[in-house]
Structure 1
């Protein structure tokens, strides 16, 4: 079957969908029994980035890490989502959840490997080199391997387990064991391995909330559904694939940015010691800094390459790409509403 060429709805890549509701399949004596005496509350959960609270172990450029930001840096301690509407009884919860902390993709691992080789073979050494460069050359090890390829790290599983427990503490009636086993809770994910692993980890967190034995990787009690037609619907939209994804002219702004004054200024400052640095390698250095903080909680020496102003630049090309992609679907939505 050919992809639909009409309006499509985009689901953000790297997300999962959770729905929980009271009803005939929920636990007996649940919230549905007390609804007549209460106003109804329909709750949607969004994960919002808040301002980072930086400490001595967190680089000051971490505020520009975007989607590489550590989850613990954006959690609002003590937030009880169900307390926002006092006197209401929650009857439905929909949560769009991003996957947990992951390794770099193979594309970025290859760029990191290339940058590492060049720094070791072509950058100056000895007392004439700055301290951050000597630290990279003498102490930092290139530990990323291609088989990691965007897979969820153990810390990423913990991210999702903790999220499940926080949601359960706010909505215990909706996220009950009986609800999961009786079909009152549905968990949908894309086929991306990091998303499937995140869906599993989320359910592990619910089991911990219910004080049940932990699930194993092969445990048949995982109840999530892989649904790429929903979670990666953009891949089946011909208008998007042909008009944006495979259309070189759709992201011309990215190429202009890579050769524009902002990146030229960053490369000019780097060129004193790293004359071989091009736009992609500037971004690779920035990724090393962000991934090592997210995965290992390390203040990487690579972070010291960037000033606060520099750090605003490497993530911008991706923002331009995202704007082009999201703008396509916003355009379709407007056409559909006319």
Structure 2
């Protein structure tokens, strides 16, 4: 999947639309729709782990066969926004205030303005640091480790050794913290540390400058050039979708959405 960043104006517009989509989904007759389940690669583990997808059929282990090896590539858990994203959320709050000011000048009916928007501010307003794995993210990876062990119990009967159970992570704080939380769940109850009988385990990482496996998008110039060359096409692909949503919300709430 090729992910690109929207230009600043489109980013703000898309963020406002996402906030309003949450309200729209809650007002529909179909209460099953939840935008939190439809956030692509940033959907939280806890939001989708209990969803049964009929298109996915897990492979049954043939009779007489036993799993002998497991490879898992996992995304980091829920984290706080980076400082860059926090600044963008501050801009979003300012943009919302402009929409509300415009609505007031137009004497829009209070029923037209979602009540929750009147006092909305970025939850990270004034915060100086960001990007850390939060408690929800810790729990997500901890529980993932437990589920993996329960799904393949025979794979974890052998005594721990880092060569047998290697855990590798990218060299960013939220990823390494996720790996630790995952390992705590995976090996919980098999050690001698504390009441939960945790054990120490190794987590290794490559330098961000040379990690061609997990962070190829940082160190592969060919990929960077390819991604940049395709950004205009991706933005163009998104434009009619954002325009359609903008039009529908502008009609519903009479806000002056501009790009």
What's the TM-score bracket when you normalise by the shorter of the two chains? 0.5 to 0.7
Matched, 1:224 2:224: no
More deviation in 106-115 or 119-128?
Answer: 119-128
SS of residue matched to 2:70: strand
Structure 2 residue 195 is the aligned partner of structure 1 residue 195:
no
Q: Which residue of 1 aligns with 2:95?
A: 118
| Distance in 2 of aligned mates of 1:77 and 1:254 | 29
Asked if residue 160 in structure 1 is aligned to residue 134 in structure 2, the reply is no
What TM-score, normalized by structure 1, do the two folds share? 0.53
Match of 2:38 among 64, 78, 93: 64
3-state SS of 1:274 partner: coil
The one-character-per-residue Cα deviations of 1:266-311 (angstroms, maximum 9, x if unpaired) are 2233445432543xxxxxxxxxxxxxxxxxxxxxxxxxxxxxxxxx
Q: Where does residue 44 of structure 1 map in the other structure?
A: none
Relative distance call for 1:153 and 1:261 in structure 2 (3 A) is same
Query: What is the aligned residue count?
Result: 214
TM-aligned CA distance change 1:250 to 1:175, over 3 Å = same
1:236 pairs with one of 219, 223, 230: 219
Aligned CA RMSD, in angstroms, stands at: 3.6
Q: Is the 8 A contact 1:189 1:199 kept in 2?
A: yes
In structure 1, the residue corresponding to 2:167 is in which secondary structure? strand
Aligned positions of 1:125-274 closer than 5 A:
125=104, 128-130=109-111, 133-138=114-119, 140-145=120-125, 147=128, 149-176=130-157, 178-179=159-160, 181=161, 183-210=163-190, 212-213=192-193, 221-227=200-206, 228-241=211-224, 243-245=225-227, 247=228, 249-257=229-237, 260-271=239-250, 273-274=254-255
| Aligned mates of 2:82, 2:116 — CA distance in 1 | 25
Task: State the 1:115 CA deviation.
Answer: 1.9
Question: How far apart, in 2, do the equivalents of 1:192 and 1:127 lie?
Answer: 47
Any conservation in 2 of the 1:165–1:209 contact (CA below 8 Å)? no
- Decide which of 49, 69, 81 is 1:104's aligned counterpart: 81
Residue 177 of structure 1: how far off its partner (Å): 6.9
In the TM superposition, what is the alpha-carbon distance from 1:163 to its structure 2 partner? 0.8
Structure that is richer in strand per residue: 1
Specify whether residues 182 and 63 from structure 1 end up closer, same or farther in structure 2 by C-alpha distance, changes over 3 A only. Answer: closer
* Aligned-pair CA distance for 1:262: 2.6
